[in-house]
């Protein structure tokens, strides 16, 4: 029997024949069989790239797709038809390999980067010797023709297929530094909408047939959707590069704008795409220093940080910047409308007539009560009240009266700002108020640093609540008379409040 031939998956690059690697050129010239994919029209981009390396002694194996976007009668649909096509193609090549012939499968770009060769590899590599020869990808080529780096230093690059749902595309585009979206064509409208929803459209570039004679590139927002072929991509280059190349932003209408955003209680996974977009578009960030420090540094963006307990001054500064024509984002942790900066901005904007025409928007964030509740079960499953124990902006007697009223009404309580370095007695006082209206065994959740390193969630009772373990980084959830504590089959503890109430 003849020695089996070797299968080579050879990447031929994005379009320019001179980007073919030396190894790829040698293997193609030496091959017995050259295989390449094409649609039913018979033309193959990969074959055209390597035309100068083909000669008469080559056996050609065109692998013609039976279907692309058409309808099919196959019971398994498109997946069934294409699976059978790869099975049949693999067996065609197996005949050559079994006869000892060397087979090269040509792949535009790189064989293992959204390439069709991989489906032959998984069917044949366990039966015959097989090697993969990498090629220049369309993403690298697009970056090169634009003259813009993909990523710099610690930036993150995300590669996405345009076939994903628009909401998923927008979420991922908002969460990354740089991105490439492939497989455009019919998906272009959805991809464009996702880039816009993620706030990335102004940074986005369109690259078609990179490095080939028919290539073109343009700002993606200017591209006609009816003129987009499949072999094109959307590119978000390095944000550092984008800032360097970008034209100065035009002043916003009506003297700029203030957007008050909530970062959520912890990292970016709890930050909404809408907030991420606002942070990217801002010329100025204003906020409490630890919160602003949670926002990635963006070239050209100015950051104005300050200490705690200066909310009014911070709001006035933001409004002054917007009055001068700037796009300003005021940063809050959690939700900006819950014991945070949204009210402070509106207070100043309303009190001073000069700010009357400055637009103010509020973008919600995941608030600490929701985050803490999710970590322990569903304690907020029925009616609940949210109170702050800080007496910095309201007298303690008011807090005590509201706490007593909510406790008497049998509401679950979410207690913000329970203690600080200078406020140590309020938690004990609040516990005494609760004990006058609640069973001492009522469950209490002490949630600390939720979503951050060192997160702890402790379940205790009103009677056993220790004020010494509570500080400003904690949130307290106090159950109602119906709140239950359950031990699950895996040993975890859940605190939850039924949706129904007796009576």
Crossing angle for the helix pair 273-281 and 166-175, nearest 10 degrees? Answer: 50
Domain 369-496: which topology?
A: 3.30.950
Rounded to an integer, what distance in angstroms lies between the CA atom of residue 19 and that of residue 297?
36
Q: Which residues pair with 414 in a beta bridge?
A: 386, 477
Q: Which of 366, 190, 385, 181 is nearest to 267 (CA)?
A: 366
CA dihedral 113, 115, 120, 121 (to 10 degrees): -10
Domain boundaries of the chain, sorted by first residue: 7-135, 139-245, 257-363, 369-496
pLDDT, one tens digit for every residue, the chain (503 residues): 679 999 999 999 999 999 999 999 999 999 999 999 998 887 899 999 999 999 999 999 999 998 665 566 666 677 888 999 999 999 999 999 999 999 999 999 999 999 999 999 999 999 999 999 999 999 999 999 999 999 998 889 999 999 999 889 988 998 888 999 999 999 999 999 999 988 889 899 999 999 998 899 999 999 999 989 988 999 999 987 655 555 444 444 445 999 999 999 887 778 888 898 899 889 999 999 999 999 888 878 999 999 888 999 999 999 999 999 999 999 999 999 999 999 999 999 999 999 999 999 999 999 999 999 999 999 999 999 999 999 989 999 999 999 999 999 999 999 999 988 888 899 999 999 999 999 999 999 999 999 888 899 999 999 999 999 999 899 999 999 999 999 988 989 999 999 999 98
Rounded to an integer, what distance in angstroms lies between the CA atom of residue 487 and that of residue 485?
7
What radius of gyration do the chain's Cα atoms show?
31
Superfamily (CATH) of domain 7-135: Tetrapyrrole methylase, N-terminal domain (3.40.1010.10)
Rounded to an integer, what distance in angstroms lies between the CA atom of residue 63 and that of residue 71?
20
Architecture of domain 257-363: 3-Layer(aba) Sandwich (3.40)
Among the four given CATH numbers 3.30.565.10, 3.30.950.10, 3.20.20.100, 3.30.420.40, the one describing domain 139-245: 3.30.950.10
Domains 7-135 and 139-245 share a fold: no
Q: Which of 273, 255, 252, 254 is nearest to 263 (CA)?
A: 273
Entry pTM: 0.65
């Amino acid at each position: 029997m003849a020695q089996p031939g070797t299968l080579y998956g050879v990447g031929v690059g994005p379009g320019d024949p001179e980007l073919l690697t030396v190894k790829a050129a040698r293997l193609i010239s030496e091959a017995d069989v050259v295989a390449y994919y094409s649609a039913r029209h018979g033309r193959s981009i990969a074959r055209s790239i390597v035309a100068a390396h083909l000669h008469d002694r080559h056996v050609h194996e065109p692998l013609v797709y039976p279907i692309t976007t058409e309808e099919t009668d196959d019971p398994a649909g498109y997946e069934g038809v294409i699976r059978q096509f790869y099975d049949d193609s693999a067996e065609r090549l197996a005949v050559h390999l079994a006869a000892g012939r060397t087979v090269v499968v040509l792949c535009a770009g790189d064989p293992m980067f959204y390439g069709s060769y991989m489906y032959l590899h998984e069917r044949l590599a366990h039966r015959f010797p097989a090697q993969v020869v990498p090629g220049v990808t369309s993403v690298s080529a697009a970056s090169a023709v634009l003259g813009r780096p993909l990523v710099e230093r610690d930036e993150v690059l995300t590669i996405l297929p345009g076939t994903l749902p628009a909401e998923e595309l927008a979420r991922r585009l908002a969460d990354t530094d740089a991105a490439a979206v492939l497989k455009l064509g019919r998906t272009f409208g959805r991809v464009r909408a996702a880039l816009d929803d993620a706030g990335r459209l102004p940074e986005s570039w369109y690259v078609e047939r990179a490095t080939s004679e028919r290539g073109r590139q343009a700002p993606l927002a200017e591209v006609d959707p009816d003129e987009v072929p499949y072999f094109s991509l959307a590119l978000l280059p390095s944000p550092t590069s984008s800032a360097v190349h970008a034209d100065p932003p035009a002043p916003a209408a009506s003297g700029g704008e203030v957007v008050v955003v909530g970062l959520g209680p912890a990292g970016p996974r709890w930050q909404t795409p809408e907030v991420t977009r606002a942070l990217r578009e801002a010329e100025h960030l204003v906020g409490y220093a630890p919160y602003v420090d949670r926002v990635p540094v963006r070239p050209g963006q100015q950051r104005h940080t300050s200490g705690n307990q200066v909310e009014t001054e911070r709001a006035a500064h933001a409004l002054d910047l917007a009055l001068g024509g700037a796009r300003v984002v005021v940063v809050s942790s959690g939700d900006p409308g819950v014991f945070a900066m949204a009210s402070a901005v509106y207070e100043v904007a309303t009190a001073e007539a000069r700010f009357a025409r400055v637009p103010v928007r509020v973008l919600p964030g995941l608030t600490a009560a929701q985050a803490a509740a999710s970590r322990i079960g569903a304690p907020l499953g029925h009616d609940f009240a949210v109170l702050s124990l800080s007496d910095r902006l309201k007298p303690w007697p008011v807090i005590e009266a509201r706490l007593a009223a909510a406790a008497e009404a049998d509401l679950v309580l979410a207690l913000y700002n329970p203690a600080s370095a200078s406020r140590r007695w309020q938690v004990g006082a609040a516990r005494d108020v609760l004990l006058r209206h609640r069973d001492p065994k009522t469950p209490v959740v002490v949630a600390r640093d939720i979503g951050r390193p060192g997160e702890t969630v402790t379940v205790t009772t009103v009677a056993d609540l220790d004020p010494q373990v509570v500080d400003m980084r904690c949130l307290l959830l106090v159950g109602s008379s119906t709140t239950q504590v359950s031990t699950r089959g895996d040993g975890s503890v859940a605190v939850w409040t039924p949706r129904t109430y007796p009576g």
